[in-house]
């Protein structure tokens, strides 16, 4: 077949020949034949070229799809440097750096890249990427090994805590791999114990026999446990619980013939015993309350029966403890009622053991605050940090620019999750992973959902242009068109990135305030200042762009998270004040500190004078123990400020007492 260019030249020649014949110099028939042949050849060549292009597209599409199948949707660092050789065989992988194929899955690939393991070929690649892969994979293997060791130690500790006396029992059999006697059961009387005088081959056979016997018997026990789990809809996670493991160990120590407890026993005697045991576990918290005080927290909520419940709890450095719960369905939640509940809790705990009361920002709580300060002026009343930060997220999310994008994301998720076929389509493309995620609050949920959508951006875009999406019912409806337009809009994704960048600093503070990892009072104000700086950077430090967002944050902070107590906690935390000594020179900080000292040492002017006029200066100038090299532990964000003051503040007793109680 002629090349396309040759065919075109032949067709042009025929056309010119016809033109000349018309001028009387060539036969018309010969010209028409030449022209017809050239045109037919061009058409055939164009058809073949089009078919070849389509074939290439299909091959390329198939290869791209194959590559996507070979890529695992996993957080494991190994998949950054390897792929599956076969999408249906998860055991065989290939290294992207040296193209070596190996069996053993992603674990073996990480050993290959990290140059770890005796029976693994080391990756010969010597590039910068190979060095990074070696470091990352080595760290991943070490972390996994450390977690396995910690889990083993933890399980051994749990088993050691269980001690069930076995009266009258004399027969014991030594278990393989253990130096301690352990009764396996009647069947073990028919198996031989390991003979120290036996040869290596004979000993190995005995070990294998006992090992297989143990494995078979364990599987029989597993069946009964699994049947109980399935028949009574017990969550699978419950079997990974420490209490469940200890229960199995206790039953195993008891041996055959164990009778489970009856309903009445569980409902009465055993419940009372567990209540007494739980109370005994609270002794450490009681001691902490007596030593460093606690916070009284209120929480109003509605149960499934729509009853209005008011909970009272305490919180100290050792954790949170429930005090009481009251059904408030028949009572108006007035300031007086809330004040009476809190006041009674303070009486029960002891006035000297309560540092602050924490509530949300409702007007009735603010009224109760005034009543309490009149009766007990030495106790602080603090707004709930979680509730306040939630209000910040709400205010920013309601700004027109952000609200439009959040509403678009909500409309998309409501539409997809509102229909079984669309939800099935979503889960097909995201490999079963969800887009809607629940958070601490609905505004935190907005952040988590947007973040989840951004992580699955490519999968969602691929979904809405796929034939599977086009085959959905009512594909031409407005909701489907809007959902498709949202996902395909570059502007939408650009705004999602911006919203997440603005929300993330506040979301970090929210997690700090709502978590139980550390006492957050000493870090809340400092981390909010850091969040504001990060938000300014998101907008390129352009005041016209960030001023509206910061105005919302400052409005919600005012009178809540910038109280004298918060500012004093910020000042007394060396993580901030030693890093930035100018904090001591700020008039706002000094005024807040004096107000806090006056309230903390109410009616004790000597202690007020000692803390404010003498000891604060020693802390500011790093005198005495404050100057020690070991005192620099404050540079680590994860340190405990209250413990730091207990260790290094002994030469400033008035300030030390105030700092440890506030920062605890």
Percent of the chain with pLDDT over 70: 80
> What confidence tens digit (pLDDT) does each residue in 470-496 have?
888 777 788 888 889 999 999 999 999
Residue 4 has pLDDT above 50, yes or no: no
Cα–Cα distance, 19 to 35 (Å, whole number):
11
Q: Dihedral (C-alpha) 508, 509, 513, 519: value to the nearest 10 degrees?
A: 100
Helix axes 442-455, 400-417, angle to 10 degrees: 70
Please tell me the predicted confidence (pLDDT) of residue 202: 57
Please tell me the predicted confidence (pLDDT) of residue 437: 65
Residues 6+ apart with CB under 8 A from 592: 563, 564, 567, 568, 571
8 A C-beta contact, residue 364 and residue 333: yes
Cα–Cα distance, 504 to 509 (Å, whole number):
9
8 A C-beta contact, residue 44 and residue 17: no
Cα–Cα distance, 577 to 255 (Å, whole number):
61
Residue 501 — very low, low, confident or very high, per pLDDT cuts 50/70/90? very high
Please tell me the predicted confidence (pLDDT) of residue 196: 53
More confidently predicted of 13 and 636: 636
Residue 11 has pLDDT above 80, yes or no: no
Mean pLDDT of 302-325: 86
- Give the angle subtended at the CA of 107 by the CAs of 104 and 111, to the nearest 5°: 100
Phi, psi of 520 (to 5 degrees): -90, -10
Residues in the chain: 664
**By three-state DSSP, how is residue 517 classified?**
coil
Residue 533 has pLDDT above 50, yes or no: yes
> What confidence tens digit (pLDDT) does each residue in 611-664 have?
999 999 999 999 999 998 888 888 777 788 999 999 999 999 999 999 999 998
Please tell me the predicted confidence (pLDDT) of residue 25: 41
8 A C-beta contact, residue 317 and residue 642: yes
Beta-carbon neighbour count of residue 556 at 10 Å?
A: 22
8 A C-beta contact, residue 532 and residue 553: yes
Residues 6+ apart with CB under 8 A from 376: 343, 346, 351
H or E, element range at 357: strand 354-359
More confidently predicted of 129 and 15: 129
Residue 414 has pLDDT above 90, yes or no: no
Residue 399 has pLDDT above 70, yes or no: yes
- Per the listing, tokens 């026993």 go with 265
Please tell me the predicted confidence (pLDDT) of residue 173: 44
Cα–Cα distance, 424 to 541 (Å, whole number):
44
Helix segments in 293-384, DSSP class H: 335-349, 363-375
Q: Which of 198-212, 214-228, 501-515 is predicted with the least confidence, judged by mean pLDDT?
A: 198-212
Please tell me the predicted confidence (pLDDT) of residue 6: 53
Please tell me the predicted confidence (pLDDT) of residue 176: 44
| Residue 373 CA: distances (Å) to CA of 376, 381, 607, 659 | 5, 8, 21, 21
Please tell me the predicted confidence (pLDDT) of residue 63: 45
Q: Which of 220-224, 600-604, 634-638 is predicted with the least confidence, judged by mean pLDDT?
A: 634-638
Q: Which of 87-96, 474-483, 499-508, 531-540 is predicted with the least confidence, judged by mean pLDDT?
A: 474-483
Cα–Cα distance, 203 to 210 (Å, whole number):
11
Q: Which of 187-191, 213-217, 564-568, 603-607 is predicted with the least confidence, judged by mean pLDDT?
A: 187-191
Residue 265 has pLDDT above 70, yes or no: yes
Three-state helix/strand/coil letters over 37-55: HHHHHHHHHHHHHHHHHHH
Please tell me the predicted confidence (pLDDT) of residue 440: 54
**By three-state DSSP, how is residue 648 classified?**
helix
Please tell me the predicted confidence (pLDDT) of residue 392: 92
Residues 6+ apart with CB under 8 A from 174: 180, 181, 182, 193, 194
More confidently predicted of 529 and 205: 529
Residue 209 has pLDDT above 90, yes or no: no
More confidently predicted of 268 and 155: 268
Residue 174 — very low, low, confident or very high, per pLDDT cuts 50/70/90? very low
**By three-state DSSP, how is residue 301 classified?**
strand
8 A C-beta contact, residue 436 and residue 418: no
Phi, psi of 103 (to 5 degrees): -100, 160
Cα–Cα distance, 621 to 559 (Å, whole number):
30
Please tell me the predicted confidence (pLDDT) of residue 67: 47
8 A C-beta contact, residue 531 and residue 542: no
Cα–Cα distance, 17 to 410 (Å, whole number):
70
Cα–Cα distance, 169 to 180 (Å, whole number):
16
Mean pLDDT of 318-345: 88
The secondary structure of the chain in percent helix, strand, coil, rounded to multiples of 5, reads 65, 10, 25
Please tell me the predicted confidence (pLDDT) of residue 472: 81
Q: Name which of 647, 658, 578 is nearest 619 in CA terms.
A: 578
Both tokens assigned to 359: 């509530």
Please tell me the predicted confidence (pLDDT) of residue 439: 57
Please tell me the predicted confidence (pLDDT) of residue 119: 79
pTM tops 0.85:
no
- Listing DSSP states for 171-218 in one string gives ---BPTT-SSB----GGGGGSPPPPTTS-HHHHHHHHHHHHHHHHHHH
Mean pLDDT, the chain, rounded, equals 81
Cα–Cα distance, 518 to 319 (Å, whole number):
9
Please tell me the predicted confidence (pLDDT) of residue 21: 43
Residue 389 has pLDDT above 50, yes or no: yes
184-222 burial, b if ≥16 CB within 10 A, otherwise e?
beeebeeeeeeeeeeeeeeeeebeeebeebeeeeeeeee
Strands 294-302 and 354-359: parallel
Please tell me the predicted confidence (pLDDT) of residue 52: 46
Residue 47 has pLDDT above 90, yes or no: no
Residue 328 has pLDDT above 90, yes or no: no
Residue 216 — very low, low, confident or very high, per pLDDT cuts 50/70/90? confident
Cα–Cα distance, 393 to 400 (Å, whole number):
14
Residue 35 has pLDDT above 60, yes or no: no
Neighbouring-strand partners of residue 300 = 310
Residue 44 — very low, low, confident or very high, per pLDDT cuts 50/70/90? very low
Residues 6+ apart with CB under 8 A from 505: 530, 531, 532, 534, 535
Q: Which of 69-73, 499-503, 590-594 is predicted with the least confidence, judged by mean pLDDT?
A: 69-73
> What confidence tens digit (pLDDT) does each residue in 448-460 have?
889 889 999 999 9
Please tell me the predicted confidence (pLDDT) of residue 361: 81
Helix segments in 558-610, DSSP class H: 564-572, 574-577, 587-600, 605-609
Cα–Cα distance, 124 to 98 (Å, whole number):
7
Highest mean pLDDT: which range of 215-224, 285-294, 590-599: 590-599
> What confidence tens digit (pLDDT) does each residue in 417-463 have?
888 888 888 888 888 888 876 555 666 788 888 988 999 999 999 99
> What confidence tens digit (pLDDT) does each residue in 69-124 have?
566 667 788 888 998 888 788 888 999 999 999 888 888 999 999 998 887 889 99
Both tokens assigned to 35: 């022209």
> Dihedral sign, CA of 584, 586, 589, 592?
positive
Q: Name which of 192, 189, 184 is nearest 208 in CA terms.
A: 192
Neighbouring-strand partners of residue 89 = 86
């Amino acid at each position: 077949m002629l090349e396309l260019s040759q065919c075109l030249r032949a067709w042009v020649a025929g056309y010119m020949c016809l033109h000349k014949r018309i001028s009387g110099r060539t036969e018309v028939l010969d010209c028409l034949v030449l022209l017809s042949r050239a045109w037919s050849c061009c058409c055939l060549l164009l058809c073949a070229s089009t078919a070849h292009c389509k074939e290439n597209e299909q091959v390329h599409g198939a290869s791209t799809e194959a590559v996507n199948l070979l890529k695992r949707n996993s957080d494991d660092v190994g998949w950054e440097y390897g792929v599956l050789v076969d999408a249906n065989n998860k055991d065989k992988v290939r290294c992207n750096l040296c193209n070596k194929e190996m069996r053993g899955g992603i674990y073996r690939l990480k050993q290959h890249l990290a140059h770890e393991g005796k029976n693994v070929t080391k990756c010969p690649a010597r590039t910068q990427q190979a060095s990074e892969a070696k470091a990352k994979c080595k760290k991943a293997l070490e972390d996994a090994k450390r977690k396995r060791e910690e889990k083993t130690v933890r399980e051994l500790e749990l088993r050691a805590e269980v001690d069930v006396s076995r009266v009258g029992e004399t027969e014991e059999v030594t278990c393989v791999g253990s130096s301690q006697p352990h009764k396996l059961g009647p069947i073990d009387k028919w198996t031989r114990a390991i003979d120290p005088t036996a040869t290596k081959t004979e000993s190995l056979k005995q070990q294998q026999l006992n090992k297989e016997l143990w494995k078979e018997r364990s599987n029989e026990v597993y069946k009964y446990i699994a049947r109980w789990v399935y028949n009574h809809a017990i969550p699978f996670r419950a079997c990974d619980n420490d209490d469940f493991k200890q229960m199995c160990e206790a039953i195993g120590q008891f041996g055959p013939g164990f009778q489970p407890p009856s309903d009445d026993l569980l409902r009465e005697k055993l419940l009372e015993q567990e209540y007494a045991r739980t109370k005994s576990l609270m002794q450490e918290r009681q001691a902490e309350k007596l030593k460093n005080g606690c916070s009284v927290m209120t929480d109003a909520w509605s149960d499934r029966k729509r009853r209005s419940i008011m909970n009272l709890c305490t919180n100290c450095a050792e954790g949170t403890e429930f005090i009481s719960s009251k059904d408030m369905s028949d009572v108006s939640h007035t300031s007086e009622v809330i004040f009476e509940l809190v006041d009674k809790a303070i009486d029960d705990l002891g006035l000297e053991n309560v540092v602050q009361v924490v509530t949300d920002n409702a007007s009735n709580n603010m009224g109760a605050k005034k009543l309490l300060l009149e009766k007990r002026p030495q106790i602080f009343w603090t707004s709930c940090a979680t509730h306040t930060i939630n209000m910040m997220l709400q205010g920013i999310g309601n700004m027109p620019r952000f609200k439009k994008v959040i509403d678009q994301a909500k409309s998309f998720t409501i539409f997809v999750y509102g229909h079984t076929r669309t939800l099935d389509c979503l889960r097909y493309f995201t490999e079963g992973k969800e887009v809607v995620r629940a958070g601490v609050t609905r505004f935190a949920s907005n952040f988590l959902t947007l973040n989840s959508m951004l992580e699955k951006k490519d999968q969602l875009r691929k979904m809405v242009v796929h034939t599977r999406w086009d085959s959905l019912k009512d594909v031409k409806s407005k909701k489907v068109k809007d959902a498709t337009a949202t996902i395909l809009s570059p502007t939408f994704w650009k705004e999602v990135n911006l919203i997440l960048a603005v929300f993330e600093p506040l979301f970090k503070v929210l997690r700090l305030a709502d978590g139980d990892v550390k006492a957050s009072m000493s870090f809340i104000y400092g981390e909010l200042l850091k969040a504001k700086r990060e938000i300014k950077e998101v907008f390129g430090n352009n005041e016209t762009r960030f001023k509206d967002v910061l105005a919302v944050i400052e409005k919600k902070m005012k009178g809540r998270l910038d109280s004298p107590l918060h500012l004093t906690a910020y000042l007394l935390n060396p993580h901030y004040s030693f890093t930035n000594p100018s904090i001591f020179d700020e008039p706002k900080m000094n005024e807040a500190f004096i107000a806090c000292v006056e309230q903390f040492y109410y009616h004790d002017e000597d202690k007020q004078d000692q803390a404010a006029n003498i000891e604060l200066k020693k802390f500011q100038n790093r005198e005495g123990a404050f100057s020690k090299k070991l005192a620099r532990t404050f540079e680590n964000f994860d340190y405990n400020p209250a413990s730091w003051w207990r260790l290094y503040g002994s030469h400033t007793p008035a300030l030390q007492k105030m700092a440890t109680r506030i920062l605890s």
